[in-house]
Structure 1
Amino acid sequence: MDKGAGAGGGETLLFLTDEQLRQGIEAVFFAYRGFTADPDRILEAKGYGRAHHRAVHFIHRAPGTTVNNLLSILGVTKQSLNRVLRALIEDGLVESRIGREDKRERHLYLTQRGEDLERALSDAQRARMRAAYRAAGPAAVAGFRQVLEAMMDPEQRSQYLSLREGGGNG
């Protein structure tokens, strides 16, 4: 595959016009809207928002993660995360356990109800991703992942790669 050819008709990837970049930005905005639409409907019915979804997702990906690690992954304030976690814990979706080695640490786990919610949310997103990946083909999927990883700040990329490799319990 020619790394210098763009999908839109041979534009060089080393020089994109402002208009081409704007179109890419808008594509990301609209794709994100589509990507979050189904989970948003599920969350709204339960009185939750996207912050709850992100917390549930990353607790599922790294069971036993600490509150501090989740703060780092999500990049939110402690106050904001505490509000989200308080609701998830009170509603029986997340369990907070005191650390064995450090009693000040709180380790987070999804309960069965939390696992059920996570499955419903991720099933909806996986279906959309699967359909898009199938329509685009393997080369486009690999390129898409490369673009997304290149957009991440180094710390975010490191966290992403750690989760991809099955880690993330920091």
Structure 2
Amino acid sequence: MSVMVSTPVLHPAPAAPSEAPHTAVPYDLIELFFFAYRDFVGDPDRILADYGFGRAHHRVLHFVQRRPGLTIAELLDILQITKQSLNRVLKELVETGFVESRTGTQDKRQRNLHATAAGHELAVRLAQLQAKRINGALTLVGPEASEVIARYLAALIDPSERPKVQDLLAGPR
């Protein structure tokens, strides 16, 4: 069963209450979040390991596949990583034939990134694994929960980043 999750509208977070020195820590939610993330990325990790790739490769490939023509500057902004760390990962993805870097049509100094056929296939395979896990969880909690979950996850995003994320969630270019 496939459940579609609508794009959440990211609203500014309400003003945070003043921090009390003994604010209750929701350890159960923190730990559930860790375990959920571990398993969510664990499925793709096993496949990526066959290629000698890791999570950084997955993130780069995901966004390059979803947004053909993405510039390196845009990718750095999305991932919020250093150019140095991106260069190593991107070089490996280009050298192994999963991503190609093309000269920009408007600005010849710009590099536009595109997933190759092999890159597209791998990115979709990884996304399908994660979709299976998400859809399975939604089946257990009920598809009506997807909107609440989407709002909750959106609320975890830094308020200054929400407009940018909202634009990204609008879908591929």
* Runs (5+) with no aligned partner, structure 2: 1-16, 18-22
Q: What is residue 128 of structure 1 aligned with on the other side?
A: 133
Q: Which structure has the highest helix share of the two?
A: 1
Q: What is residue 72 of structure 1 aligned with on the other side?
A: 77
Q: What is residue 147 of structure 1 aligned with on the other side?
A: 152
- Residues 67 and 108, structure 1, Cα contact 8 Å, conserved in 2: yes
C-alpha distance in structure 2 between counterparts of 1:39 and 1:125, whole Å: 8
C-alpha distance in structure 2 between counterparts of 1:78 and 1:70, whole Å: 10
Task: Identify which range, 42-51 or 147-156, moves more after superposition.
Answer: 147-156
Q: CA deviation at 1:70?
A: 0.2
Instruction: Confirm whether residue 96 of structure 1 aligns to residue 101 of structure 2.
Output: yes
C-alpha distance in structure 2 between counterparts of 1:35 and 1:140, whole Å: 18
Percent of aligned positions with the same letter in both sequences? 47
Q: When the two structures are superposed, what TM-score results if normalisation uses the length of structure 2?
A: 0.83
Greater than 3 Å deviation, 4+ residue runs: none
Q: CA deviation at 1:155?
A: 4.1
Q: Which structure carries more relative contact order (alpha carbon 8 Å, separation 6+)?
A: 2
The aligned amino acid for 2:24 is: D
Q: When the two structures are superposed, what TM-score results if normalisation uses the length of structure 1?
A: 0.84
* Runs (5+) with no aligned partner, structure 1: 1-13
What is the total number of aligned residue pairs between the two structures?
A: 152
